[in-house]
A and B are shown apart, each in its own frame.
Chain A
Amino acid sequence: MRITHHPILEFQRGRKVRFTFDGREMEGYEGEPIAAALHAAGVRVLRHSPKLNRPRGFFCAIGNCSSCLMKVDGVPNVRVCVERLREGMQVQTQVGKGDLLESV
Chain B
Amino acid sequence: MSAVVGVPTARGPKPTRLGPARIGLYAFAIVSAAFFLMPLYVMIVTSFKTMPEISNGAIFALPRHPTIAPWIQAWSKACIGMDCRGISPGFWNSVQITIPSTILSVLLGALNGYALSFWRVRGSEALFAILLIGAFLPFQVFLYPLLRISNVLGLYGTLPCVILVHIIFGLPVMTLMFRNYYAGLPMELFKAARVDGAGFWRILIEILLPMSGPIGIVAVILQVTGIWNDFLFGLIFAGNDHQPMTVALNTLVSSTFGDKPYNIFMAATLLSGAVPLITYFVSGRWFVRGIAAGAVKG
Q: Do A and B come from one complex?
A: no
